[in-house]
Amino acid sequence: MEGFATALEKSLVSCHSCHLVCRATAFHGKGEMICPRCGSVLHQRKPRSLSRTWALVMAAFIFYIPANVLPITTVISLGHAQSDTIMSGVIYFILTGMWPIALIIFIASIFVPLVKLFILTFLLVSVQRKWQWRPKDRTRLYRITEVIGRWSMTDIYVVTILVALVKLGGFATIEAGPGAIFFAAVVVTTMFAAMSFDPRLIWDSLETQYE
């Protein structure tokens, strides 16, 4: 192992998709550089990582509100309609004693998206302020946001299955509510937000200190 040199310092660039390390000669001009192995455009850091991630995080925070306030399902049974938000579904499960299910939905739909958004916000601020604080742990936090986001889709799938099954000859029907659209939007935007954040930015502010 050599003494802590990064690809950036050595004018090398590693491809985002196939991880081939190439010489970054073309970057001194204006032209784009293409990875000779897989054909994707090379960047030393993900392009406009911070502004993209900020935009997606902000959008997700905004979507999070209607996702939780608006109903995600409406049960119509014998002419009587009852709407449920994510939280009222959780409460229903707690009241009926099915707390493991309540816990799954609470964690997947309410806790995970919020935690993910707060972690990304924290990482964005820490990079912009050039904090030196525990880069290894911050990278670990980033890894968590990459992994957990997908599990929030659980509730969307539950709605899909319920909608398909509960059409018992007009006796009862379940309709998906507008909350489901916003909730799906939260999941998708937070996933894109995690993908557009470049964890190498966490380490870049450290390197300037060594110089």
Partner 1 sequence: MKALTTIACHECDLLYELSALPEGSVATCSRCGAVLQRHKRDSLDRTLSWTIAGLILFVVANAFPFLALKSGSLVRETTLITGVVELYKQDMQSVAVLVFLTTILFPVVQLTGMLYLLLPLKIERLPWWKPALVFRLLRSLQPWGMMEVFMIGILVSMVKLAKMAKVIPGIAIYSFAVLIIALAAAAASLDPHLVWDRLEIDR
Per CB under 8 A, residues contacting partner 1 are: 1-2, 4-8, 10, 12, 14, 16-21, 37-40, 96, 98, 101, 104-105, 108, 135-136, 139-140, 142-143, 146, 150-151, 153-169, 171-172, 175-176, 180-181, 184-185, 188, 191, 195, 199-200, 202-204
Closest approach of partner 1 to the CB of residue 125, in Å: 19
User: Closest approach of Cβ 1 to partner 1, in Å?
Assistant: 6
* Residue closest to 172 by CA, chosen among 72, 74, 71, 70: 74
Give the per-residue SS3 of 93-150. Answer: HHHCCCHHHHHHHHHHHHHHHHHHHHHHHHHHHHHHCCCCCCHHHHHHHHHHHHHHHH
Minimum distance, C-beta of residue 34 to partner 1, in the bound complex (Å) = 11
Nearer to partner 1, 17 or 30 (CB): 17
Residue 187 CB, shortest distance to partner 1, in Å, is: 8
- Cα of 2 vs its chain's centroid, Å: 35
Give the nearer residue to partner 1 in terms of CB position, either 30 or 136: 136
Of 128 and 160, which CB lies nearer to partner 1 in the complex structure?
160
> How far apart are CB 51 and partner 1 at their closest, in Å?
20
C-beta of 30 vs 200, nearer to partner 1: 200
Phi-psi region at 170: left, alpha or beta (left = phi > 0; alpha = psi -120 to 50): left
- d(CA 191, CA 184) in angstroms, rounded, equals 11
Residue 134: alpha-carbon gap to chain centroid: 22
Quick one: 30 or 71, whose CB is closer to partner 1? Answer: 71
Q: Which residue type sits at 119?
A: I
